[in-house]
Amino acid sequence: MSILVTGASGFIGTHLCRELLRQGQPVVALCYPEITSDITALSSHREFRIHKGDIRDTDMMRNLIRSHRVKSVFHLAAQLPGENDIDDPFPGFDTNARGTLSVLNAAYHGRVRIFVYASSMSVYSEPPQYLPVDENHPTRPGTVYGMAKVTGELGCNLYSGAMNITVLRYAGAYGRGERESNAIPTFIHQALNNKPITLYGDGTQSSDFVYIDDVVPGTILAWEKNKPGVYNIGSGEETSVRELAKRIVVLTNSRSEIVLTEQRTERPFRFFLDIAKAQKTLGYSPRSLDEGLKIYLKEFKS
Which amino acids are annotated catalytic? 145
Q: Strand 239-240 vs strand 206-207: parallel, antiparallel, or unpaired?
A: antiparallel
Q: Which amino acid is at 120?
A: S
